[in-house]
Amino acid sequence: MTAMTLPRLTPTEAKRLAEAGARLIDIRGRDEFARSRVPGAVNRPIDELGPLEDDAPVVFLCRSGMRTAGNAARLADCCTGKAYILEGGIDAWKAAGLPVEEDNGQPLELMRQVQIAAGSLVLAGVALGFGASPLFFGLAAFVGAGLIVAGATGWCGMARLLAAMPWNRQAA
């Protein structure tokens, strides 16, 4: 099966297929899955996903459908049977009024924590740079440089720091 032929299903079609025995495989990270998931879905993060053992049909899903669509060729290569993508991901599943298990006691996804922290530091650096001392513009520049390094190398120091925080040990 190739990425060009990996069919997309609506949430209602995916639910019907799952009720008939298809497996729902959520390719998001463990932290995202711990916070919100489709009932019955199994978490197999995309970076850990390998060949699936049986020929049962599989419906792959993520939050918005972008990760599954962007990795369609890799997902298709994992399957010996039929494979599908949930169009619109869990967001579409929720919008269709289908059940979602949520655990708001779990920490926010690590990437969202990085976005909040980086945005807050840049905003604080700019505000303090205008209001207190131009030296604070260096804080915004430092965070911006860190984001560039993270994007270029895949290594994010802020993510590593946040992952070690006590509130993130719950999802691990």
62, 78, 79, 156: which one is catalytic? Answer: 62
Q: What is the DSSP letter of 41?
A: -
How far is the C-alpha of 139 from the C-alpha of 155, rounded, in Å? Answer: 20
Q: Is 156 a catalytic residue?
A: no
Q: How many CA atoms does the CB half-sphere of 99 hold within 13 Å?
A: 4
Other C-beta atoms closer than 10 Å to the C-beta of 105 total 9
Distance separating alpha carbons of residues 40 and 38, to the nearest angstrom: 6
The tokens for 90 are 């869990």
Helices (H), 71-163: 72-77, 89-95, 110-131, 137-153, 157-163
Q: Kind and range of the H or E element at 60?
A: strand 58-61
Single-letter code of the amino acid located at 102: E
Active site residues: 62
